[in-house]
Amino acid sequence: MKKLIMTGSEGTIGTVLKEPLNNLYKVYTVDQVGDDTDRFYKADITDFESFKKIFSKIGDVKYIIHLGADSRVDAPWDSVLRNNIIGTKNVYECARLFGVRRIVFASSNHVTGLYEGTPPTLHKQKTPRVITVNDPVRPDSDYGNSKLFGEGLARQYYELYDVQSICLRIGTVTKEDDPRADERMRKTWLSHRDLIQLIQKSLQAPVEFGIYYGVSNNDGRFWDISNAQKELGYEPADNAGSI
């Protein structure tokens, strides 16, 4: 089984992914919370030397799923800089140094969040036209900008060092897997089942670099997933409108 490192493994998305991926890969997880085990490393990805030692210990890592970040849209700049920008740079640099084949990078829909409205009225979003990955970016926060940085870094490391990357602008994933909390979520929900499929397809698709929206096949969704369907083979099974 090929070796895979998942950062931010103890968050909502990582918790959803661990068990199904363990059936397909030899998964090693990294997070700032928890106790070390044979396959889990308590570590801060912003500490480059410590993070690099994990790769040395595991050896022959083929894939990284990079989820580690301060995921708060209103996160303060100091935290965004440290966790989302420096941390992501460290992930890509370790991939280069240790010959990692591919990274699946958890970007965010907040890279284009201002299509939904202008702060401070983000909680009263409008429904925009359908947004594609070819549309100009419109980040809505420092958090959104940090994910845009990650997409740019992914492209840089692909062009210069042949580190393949699939960047996923992930929609709304909740612990409860229930999209009925508010009207926006009914359009932006990414179900657990569709998330698992999207990650698995991203790891194996014959695409060396790409940016894709990650959302279920919801009525009224406003992110285009046609390139994910065509290039990754992603076929979402769930629709918040049917719940």
What residues are annotated to the active site? Answer: 143
Q: Tell me the two tokens of residue 125.
A: 């979003």
Burial group, residue 49, by CB count within 10 angstroms (0-12, 13-18, 19+): exposed
Structure tokens that stand for 41 in this block: 């490393």
Residues 161, 219: Cα–Cα separation, whole Å? 40
Selection from 243, 192, 184, 190 nearest residue 215 by Cα: 190
Q: Decide: helix, strand or coil at residue 131.
A: strand
Helix ranges, the chain (H) = 12-22, 48-58, 77-79, 87-98, 142-161, 183-188, 192-204, 226-227
